[in-house]
Amino acid sequence: MTVWAIGDLQGCYDATQRLLEKLAFDPARDRLWFCGDLVNRGGQSVETLRLVHSLRANSVVVLGNHDLSLLAISERREDEQRKVNPDLQGVLFAPDANELIGWLRTQKLLHVDRSLGWMMVHAGLAPKWTTTMAERHAREVEERLHGDQAARLLKNMYGDKPAWHPKLAGVDRHRAIINVFTRLRYCTPRGRIGFEDKGSPGTQQPGFYPWYEVPGRVERDLKIVCGHWSTLGLFIGHGVHAIDTGAVWGGKLTALQLDTDELRVVQVPGRDVPASPPRPRTPQRRPQAPRSV
C-alpha cells in the first residue's frame, strides 16, 4: 500500500485527475490523505467534491477554511446562498448537494496515524499544543460538527477573536480552535494569530513567526503534513511538510508519499488559467531538497 498526502484542491478537478493519473493511483492498494480546502475558486468544485467523495473508502480528509465556509453557507436561506460565487453555488444547488455536504460535514479537523508516524491538519497547530492536546481539541469541535449542534457551531465560527487560551469556553473556544486548525500561518509565542499576514516568511509584522518556528513551541512526536499556505510554497522543515503549492493560482498540485523514509514528491500543473492574478512569492531556502517526480 502507498499513502499519498495531497495539497489544497480548491475545486481544481482537472489538476486532481492529472495528479491521480501520474500517481497511478489504485484504490485496491493505495490510500490518499487530502489536506483540506477541497472547494472554492477553481471553477470545478462540485466535480472535485464528487471525485473525493467517490474515493471516501480509500481516503481521509481534514477540513479547511473553505470547506467550513461551504458548510456554513449551506445552513443559510436559499436567497443568501444565491449571493455566493458560481463555483460554490454549483455545489449548493447540485442534485446531489445533500449527500455531498452531509458527507463533508462528517470529516475531521485533524487526522493522526501513529503507526505511520504522521498527522495531517489543514493549516497548523498552536505553539503549546502537543499531539495529544491537538487531538483532544479537534474532537471537541468535531463532536459538535457531526451532531445536532452543527448549525450553531457554523453560525458562530466566524471572527478573528479571541486568541486561543485553554480557559476559553463555549462558542469562543470553538472559534479559537477552528481558527488554529484552519487559518493559522503566523502567530506570536503566546498563540495570537496574525490573520492579516498571508505572504511568505519575512513579510509578516514584527513579533509574529511562522507557526512551525515560534520560539518555545513544543516538540511533537509525529511528522506533520499540511496545506493552506500557498505563498509559502513547498516547505519541508521543523518536522512540517507544507504542500499547498498554489494549484488554484496557476501553480502546481502536489502529492507527498508518507509511507517511505525517502522524501518523494510528485507534482502536476495546477489550474490552467488562474482565477485571479497569482500572488507574489518570495523564494524560500529549503532545509531539504525533495526528489520531484
pLDDT digits (tens, 9 = 90+) for 162-197: 999 999 999 999 999 999 999 999 999 999 999 999
From residue 165, give the alpha-carbon distance in Å to each of 62, 137, 193. Answer: 23, 12, 12
Cα–Cα distance between 140 and 44 in angstroms, integer? 32
Q: Dihedral (C-alpha) 41, 47, 50, 56: value to the nearest 10 degrees?
A: -70
Confidence of residue 273 (pLDDT cuts 50, 70, 90): low
Q: What is the mean pLDDT of residues 227-240?
A: 97
Are 235 and 258 a contacting pair, CB within 8 Å? Answer: no
Residues facing residue 274 across a β-bridge: none
In the predicted structure, residue 281 carries a pLDDT above the cut 50: no
Cα–Cα distance between 147 and 5 in angstroms, integer? 28
Q: What is the mean pLDDT of residues 74-82?
A: 97
Q: Is 96 helix (H, G, I), strand (E, B) or coil?
A: coil
Architecture of domain 3-292: 4-Layer Sandwich (3.60)
Cell of 83: 449571493
CB burial readout 70-93, b (16+ within 10 A) else e: bbbbbbbeeeebeebeebbbbbbe
Confidence of residue 272 (pLDDT cuts 50, 70, 90): confident
Q: Name the strand (E) or helix (H) holding 235.
A: strand 235-237
Cα–Cα distance between 59 and 78 in angstroms, integer? 31
Confidence of residue 226 (pLDDT cuts 50, 70, 90): very high
Q: What single-letter amino acid sits at 124?
A: G
